[in-house]
């Protein structure tokens, strides 16, 4: 990044740290993806949630239906959570929705660790899906709205990094806890789910709300304060805030004149004859 001294990563360290904190959200999805398959094969887990099968090598078995629901309910929850993001984004902002995701994540983990019924396990899986849907949506929104344009792609790419790290950690922990006796072999991997939401929830107290959302809701003084915290060059804050206001106004004007079906209307889109 050539040019101004204000364009370097070092100069933008506060914004970079804030975005990296929020970008840890996909770690949850990665951990879940990495550990849930291994947990279902653990004897301690099967003794609680499935049925005895003396003819099998381990003496226990899990039905295909239970396996499918354990996996798909998380995906369903994530879809619902992402679908709720629109109204929540407008009314609450980015940080409160990320806190909400942390609370849902903790609640789901408490249920999964404490329950002894498959129904309770299903409820926990759906709740963690809701949390993941909110995490994935609002963390990306925050990064897109707060990061400098020159580093936006780099910071968004951290998503895949955290997902991969989470998957690796989940599978490694599964491998090391599988030999443990009793419930400990699956409760310890589930305990991983607490860690990153705690880090994110605490860290959110020290970073500002999205300046775009604050400007969009008419809180211009707070938007300026937020942008001043995120940007090293204070002389450019007013100009960037003006650009944000112009973009919001343009979005409002266009939102009333463009409809979904217009994508399928208009002139002939067939290829011309050769």
Q: For the chain, 274 residues long, give each residue's pLDDT as a single digit of tens.
A: 444 676 787 788 899 999 999 999 888 888 888 888 888 888 888 888 877 777 777 777 788 888 889 989 999 999 999 888 888 887 888 999 999 999 999 999 999 999 999 999 999 999 999 999 999 899 989 998 998 888 888 888 887 888 899 999 999 999 999 888 888 898 999 988 889 999 999 999 999 999 999 999 889 999 999 999 999 888 888 888 998 888 888 777 766 555 555 556 655 555 455 4
Give helix 152-177 / helix 26-39 axis angle, nearest 10°.
20
Q: Are residues 45 and 155 in the same domain?
A: yes
DSSP classification of residue 273: P
Q: Are residues 104 and 227 in the same domain?
A: no
Q: Are residues 187 and 251 in the same domain?
A: no
Phi, psi of 209 (to 5 degrees): -70, 160
Domain total in the chain:
2
Q: At a CB cut-off of 8 Å and minimum separation 6, what does 95 contact?
A: 142, 204, 207, 209, 210
Residue 257 has what pLDDT?
52
Domain boundary among 207, 239, 267: 207
CATH number at residue 85: 1.20.1250.20
Residue 169 has what pLDDT?
92
Of 20, 140, 30, residue with least CA distance to 82: 140
Q: Are residues 231 and 200 in the same domain?
A: no
Q: Are residues 145 and 247 in the same domain?
A: no
The model's pTM: 0.84
Residue 154 has what pLDDT?
83
Of 197, 168, 191, residue with least CA distance to 31: 168
Q: Are residues 197 and 220 in the same domain?
A: no
Residue 1 has what pLDDT?
40
Instruction: Find the angle CA(126)-CA(106)-CA(28) to the nearest 5 degrees.
Output: 70
Q: Are residues 98 and 72 in the same domain?
A: yes
Burial class (CB in 10 A: 0-12, 13-18, 19+), 224: middle
How far is residue 53 from each of residues 44, 58, 59, measured CA to CA in Å?
14, 8, 5
Of 29, 143, 142, 25, residue with least CA distance to 78: 29
Of 117, 125, 118, 35, residue with least CA distance to 81: 125
How many angstroms separate the CA atoms of 133 and 87, rounded?
A: 14
How many angstroms separate the CA atoms of 192 and 28, rounded?
A: 9
Residue 224 has what pLDDT?
93
Q: Are residues 215 and 203 in the same domain?
A: no
Domain boundary among 207, 238, 263: 207
Q: Is the dihedral angle over the CA atoms 168, 170, 176, 178 positive or is it negative? A: negative
Residue 89 has what pLDDT?
82
Query: Tokens 């984004």, residue?
Result: 89
Domain span holding position 29: 12-207
The three-class DSSP label of residue 257 is: coil
């Amino acid at each position: 990044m050539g040019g101004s001294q204000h364009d370097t990563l070092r100069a933008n360290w506060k914004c970079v740290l804030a975005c990296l904190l929020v970008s840890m959200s996909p770690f949850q999805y990665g951990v879940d993806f990495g550990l849930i398959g291994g947990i279902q094969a653990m004897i301690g887990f099967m003794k609680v949630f499935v049925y005895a099968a003396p003819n099998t090598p381990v003496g226990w078995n899990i039905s295909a239906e239970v396996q499918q629901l354990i996996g798909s309910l998380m995906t369903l929850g994530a879809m619902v959570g992402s679908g709720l993001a629109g109204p929540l984004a407008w009314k609450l902002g980015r940080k409160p929705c990320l806190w909400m995701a942390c609370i849902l994540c903790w609640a789901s983990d408490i249920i999964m660790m404490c329950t002894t019924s498959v129904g309770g396990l299903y409820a926990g899986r759906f709740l963690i899906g809701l949390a993941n849907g909110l995490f994935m949506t609002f963390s990306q929104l925050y990064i897109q709205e707060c990061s400098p344009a020159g580093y936006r792609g780099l910071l968004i790419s951290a998503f895949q990094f955290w997902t991969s790290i989470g998957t690796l950690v989940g599978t490694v922990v599964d491998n090391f806890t599988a030999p443990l006796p009793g419930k400990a072999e699956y409760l310890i991997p589930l305990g991983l789910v607490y860690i990153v939401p705690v880090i994110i929830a605490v860290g959110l107290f020290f970073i500002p709300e999205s300046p775009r959302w604050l400007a969009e809701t008419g809180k211009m003084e707070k938007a300026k304060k937020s942008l001043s915290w995120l940007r090293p060059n204070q002389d450019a804050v007013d100009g960037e805030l003006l650009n944000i206001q112009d973009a919001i106004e343009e979005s409002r004007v266009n939102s009333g004149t463009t409809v979904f079906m217009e994508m399928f209307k208009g002139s002939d889109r067939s290829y011309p004859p050769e």
